[in-house]
């Protein structure tokens, strides 16, 4: 891991507001008190929102230790602002009594940094960052304290349409869609994070150039997902998933019916759907009951949209490399009757799928393009082609045919953001 250090030049620009915030309301003496035990801190919430409205580029908003109960979402629309808490176990923003605002915090800003706090029990998404550049999320926890529920907010940490994004040493628990989600973005690093009890633990969707490494994804429905969905602003490609621990993601799918993530079978480790140029390597992928790795196309999702599919959308996974991983367990109790029957028919009642489950869809017009192949090395126990194009009539193990190699992808390099150059340069 490469923890980032605070720039001394940034500290010189700090506009301290901690004293004003601390005077607004007395927080709970125990920051781990269950959300909802105390009344809403109305004055504190108003003061904090006021500080965000009045912030200027270079402002650092300090949120003091304590459990603060807010009933309205917060918003920021100023570039170059840092929000700094006393630590994710010390500064807790509880939205259990939220009556207004779809998110806990919505930031529509560039050169934005948030660190050292917890956001919990929001009605909608916990932390959404929309259309900004140079984003740092560090040491931030989001959680829904009643555990996995469909009524929880959809997304935990949620940068969308962003560029130059770092999410590190952060956590998400209980999101009804994705715990740590980066969508329609470019130049992204997600590292040192933990995702647990979400439908999708970590999801990279329609994003170009992403590194996902040194994370733990456990107890989700699906551990790490790399998706391309139709009708969005850009297709994604070039994602590296490496040096992660992806273990026992066997929680029943509690996503809302009709959403794309609702099609993810419980027991999915790493899932690639309709994305291109994905390299999965040096991971510990273990005990995921459907399959440790799933490679699939849009045709297998069962997801339908009333808009139809935009012209030019590419439903096929292309250029997928799975190599040098450490696999154990998994594939022994797949989700859904069709997969259970398939597993039993091919591998016996006490058997299991091989490490890689592939739906078998290939673009017939480009099946012979070498750099668009699926390549799986011998560190995986094998590959099952489920024969989706022929309605799963002739599934077969195709391990030997996929012993190929693809050109490794290049690492993602973050560009130093304005005002925190020393931090980003160390990424």
Question: In this predicted model, what pLDDT tens digit does every residue of 215-238 receive, in sequence order?
Answer: 999 999 999 999 999 999 999 999
First to last CA, the chain: 10
Query: In this model, does residue 306 exceed pLDDT 90?
Result: no
Kindly tell me the sign of the dihedral angle through the C-alpha atoms of 40, 41, 43, 48: negative
For residue 39, the model assigns a pLDDT of: 54
Tell me if residue 172 falls in helix, strand or coil: strand
**Distance in angstroms (rounded) separating the CA atoms of residues 274 and 260:** 13
For residue 363, the model assigns a pLDDT of: 95
For residue 36, the model assigns a pLDDT of: 40
Using the structure block, give the residue that is written with the tokens 């956001």.
119
**Distance in angstroms (rounded) separating the CA atoms of residues 198 and 129:** 19
For residue 212, the model assigns a pLDDT of: 98
322-345 burial, b at 16+ Cβ within 10 Å, e below that, comes to bbebebeebbbebbeeebeebbee
pLDDT category at 245 given cuts 50, 70, 90 is: very high
Query: In this model, does residue 425 exceed pLDDT 70?
Result: no
Are the C-beta atoms of residues 277 and 237 closer than 8 Å to each other?
Answer: yes
Question: In this predicted model, what pLDDT tens digit does every residue of 36-65 receive, in sequence order?
Answer: 444 567 789 999 999 999 999 999 999 999
Among the residues of 29-86, which ranges form H helices?
42-54
Query: In this model, does residue 34 exceed pLDDT 80?
Result: no
Query: Is residue 115 classed exposed, middle or buried when 0-12, 13-18 and 19+ CB atoms within 10 A define those classes?
Result: buried
How distant is the alpha carbon of residue 103 from its chain centre? Answer: 17
For residue 4, the model assigns a pLDDT of: 35
**Distance in angstroms (rounded) separating the CA atoms of residues 230 and 349:** 38
For residue 304, the model assigns a pLDDT of: 66
**Distance in angstroms (rounded) separating the CA atoms of residues 316 and 328:** 28
Question: In this predicted model, what pLDDT tens digit does every residue of 102-139 receive, in sequence order?
Answer: 899 999 999 999 999 999 999 999 999 999 999 999 99
What are the domain boundaries of the chain? 1-107, 124-425
Mean pLDDT of 251-278: 96
pTM above 0.85, yes or no: yes
């Amino acid at each position: 891991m490469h923890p980032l250090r605070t720039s001394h030049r940034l500290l010189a620009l700090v506009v301290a507001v901690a004293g004003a915030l601390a005077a607004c309301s007395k927080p709970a003496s125990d920051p781990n008190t269950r959300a909802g035990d105390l009344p809403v801190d109305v004055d504190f919430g108003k003061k904090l929102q006021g500080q965000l409205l009045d912030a200027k580029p270079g402002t650092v908003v300090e949120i003091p230790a304590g459990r603060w109960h807010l009933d309205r979402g917060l918003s920021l629309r100023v570039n170059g602002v840092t929000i700094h808490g006393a630590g994710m176990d010390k500064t807790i923003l509880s939205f259990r009594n939220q009556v207004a605002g779809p998110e806990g915090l919505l930031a529509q800003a560039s050169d934005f940094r948030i660190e050292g706090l917890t956001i919990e029990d929001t009605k909608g998404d916990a932390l959404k960052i929309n259309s900004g550049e140079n984003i740092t999320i560090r040491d931030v926890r989001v959680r829904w304290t009643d555990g996995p529920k469909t009524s929880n907010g959809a997304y935990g940490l949620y940068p969308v349409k962003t560029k130059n994004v770092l999410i590190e040493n952060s956590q998400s628990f209980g999101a009804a869609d994705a715990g740590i989600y980066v969508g329609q973005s470019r130049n992204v690093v997600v590292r040192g994070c933990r995702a647990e009890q979400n439908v999708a633990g970590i999801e990279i969707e329609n994003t170009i150039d992403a590194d996902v490494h040194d994370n733990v994804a456990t107890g989700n429905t699906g551990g790490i997902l790399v998706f391309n969905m139709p009708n969005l602003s850009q297709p994604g490609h070039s994602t590296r998933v490496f040096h992660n621990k992806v273990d026992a993601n066997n929680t029943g799918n509690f996503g809302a019916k009709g959403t794309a993530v609702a099609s993810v079978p419980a027991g999915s480790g790493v899932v690639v759907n309709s994305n291109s140029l994905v390299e999965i390597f040096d991971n510990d992928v273990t005990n995921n009951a459907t399959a440790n790795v799933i490679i699939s196309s849009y045709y297998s999702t069962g997801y339908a949209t009333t808009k139809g599919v935009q012209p030019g959308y590419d439903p096929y996974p292309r250029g997928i490399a799975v190599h040098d991983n450490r696999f154990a367990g998994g594939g022994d109790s797949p989700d859904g009757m069709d997969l259970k029957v398939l597993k039993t028919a091919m591998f016996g009642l006490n058997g299991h799928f091989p490490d890689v489950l592939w739906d078998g869809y290939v673009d017939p017009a480009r099946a012979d393009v070498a750099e668009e192949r699926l390549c799986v090395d011998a560190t995986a126990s094998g590959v099952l082609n489920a024969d989706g194009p022929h309605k799963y009539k002739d599934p077969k193990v195709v391990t030997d045919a996929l012993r190929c190699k693809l050109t490794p992808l290049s690492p993602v390099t973050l560009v130093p953001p304005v005002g925190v150059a020393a931090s980003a340069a160390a990424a």
